[in-house]
Amino acid sequence: MVRPDPMKWRVLLPAFAVTSCSGAQTPLDPVGDQASQLFSLLTLMLWVCGIAYALVLAFLGWTLWRARHVLERDPPEVAPEDRRLNHGLRIWAGLVAVGLIILAGGSYVVDWALSRAEREAALEVRVTGHQWWWRIEYRDPATHQWIETANELHLPQGRTALVLLGSADVIHSFWVPNVAGKMDMVPGRINQVALTPRRLGWFRGQCAEFCGSQHAHMAFDVYVDSPAQFAAWLTAQRQPATAATDPVLARGAQVVTQGPCAACHRLRGTPATGRAGPDITHLASRHALAAGTLPLTRGAIQGWIAQPKALKPGTMMPAIPLSAADADAVSRYLVTLK
């Protein structure tokens, strides 16, 4: 088997990152209710603080001008009390109080709206941060069982999902700036955030808390489906892996389910029941490999299996030595798992 050049993959990463996202990754282009509410609060803060800053600069300029052109020519007499100064200080104190009340009121309104969305969520999702990937589980509305996938979060347009956030190792931070704000993922604690997306498409998320050497390569995509598309996707994810009938695919399935892969990865409907790594039952339905590090292609799969630490230094996945025939069979089999 030809070993891929790690530097070649790193050259391809920027192009892949650009093509996998709908628009820029920024909180200034909100596509969800929560991001819109936070953007409104940011706009309010900018207006209040900007006006206060402009007034301070204006009066500072006026004071400097007055000191140079007026006071030098007509110095004031020293008096025990300056009524005009006291009156001005009262006005400024009132303006500061009004600004603080506006900011506190806006913050309260946004916080109330965010908490109300959490109480009205129609979908429950669990996301667990690992070094360096994301375990994602959906509570099936029909059976109330958990359906597991990894590294890609699908959400229905116009419906609120309550996302329960935890960590399996160190502190991570869940952040999809176009959809909602940041929320830390702390070991031993479950935090939660509500997501109500309004625009269809892909939106990039990432870990926003330094969590180790591959923190920069701990990304995920949020795909906003129409409600009908989301229901169809969830139904497909509920199904176990399909049996391979082609001899080459059958050989690949045998290597995956009875070899070292089965110790770390789960493939529902097969003897592979590992929990250390991502669930790969429907691996080919995803758009990326290794938490957004590589595009999901046969070549990338073979390179990742053969030398994962060359492509993502520090990853917990060990290198799996396979013959050229087995590597080809495994990659052919994995890209059929849709």
- Cα angle value 133/335/244 (rounded, 5°): 120
pLDDT tens digits for range 280-332 = 999 999 988 999 889 999 999 999 999 999 999 989 899 999 999 999 999 99
- Dist. CA 106–CA 88, nearest whole Å: 27
- Residue 203: partners with Cβ closer than 8 Å, 6 or more residues away: 21, 22, 23, 25, 31, 176, 178, 179, 197, 221, 222, 223, 224
Helix axes 298-306, 324-334, angle to 10 degrees: 130
pLDDT tens digits for range 195-223 = 999 999 999 999 999 999 999 999 999 99
pLDDT at 21: 63
**Beta-bridge partner residues of 150:** 135
- Residue 21: partners with Cβ closer than 8 Å, 6 or more residues away: 202, 203, 204, 221
pLDDT at 292: 87
**Beta-bridge partner residues of 257:** none
Question: Does residue 4 have a pLDDT over 60?
Answer: no
Which of residues 22 and 26 earns the better pLDDT score?
26
Structure tokens at 71: 């006071």
